Structure 1
């Protein structure tokens, strides 16, 4: 497994219940600020295998970015179960965004 992929998995595993992170934020912390789409790839291909809390990752606008309506609804329900308020598929990042100290 590539170091970037390992870092992405580790960061996603650190997101506590009741908080979210953005794809770009995770990419930046994993050492590749322009690799948000790679974070999507990791989530898509490895969420089940590593039991990642995939639902805690949203886009930079605070929106659920899944195109599939059923999957988007599942993500919303999982977030709401954790106490996160979701309105029109959007989460208030000022309230719910998790910050991990920048890794060097």
Structure 2
């Protein structure tokens, strides 16, 4: 995985507003589209997004990135759900995942 890809992932995650969320897959698609527009190459997928976030520093709002079912990373589930709740992110009725239909965010461009 190259530095341009990691930087693009972290930049996009930084754009996610408080109270909203994106999936690993959606981030991978947006980043691939953005980078392809720059250099004609597509790269990365949901797993690579996860790898970038696992190496990121504490300044990145990692808790706003969830899987396709709306679940935060299992290793950080309680912490992520607390942070999401503090931001007012819509959660499922049982409070165990993000209500993606109400919380999903897509960048303007």
User: After TM superposition, is the score higher than 0.5?
Assistant: yes
Structure 1 residue aligned with 2:69: 61
TM superposition score normalised by structure 1: 0.83
How many angstroms apart in 2 are the aligned matches of 1:33 and 1:61? 23
Instruction: Please say if 1:95 is aligned against 2:83.
Output: no
How many angstroms apart in 2 are the aligned matches of 1:19 and 1:10? 16
Structure showing greater Rg: 2
- CA distance 1:23–1:33, change in 2 (3 Å): farther
Structure 1: 4+ residue segments shifted above 6 A:
none
Preserved CA contact (<8 Å) 1:20 1:96: yes
Alignment deviations for residues 8-27 of structure 1 (CA, whole Å, 9 cap, x no partner):
01100000111000001111
Structure 1 gap segments, 5+ residues each: none
Give the structure with the higher percent strand: 1
Report the CA distance between 1:33 and its aligned residue.
Answer: 7.1
User: How many residues are matched?
Assistant: 97
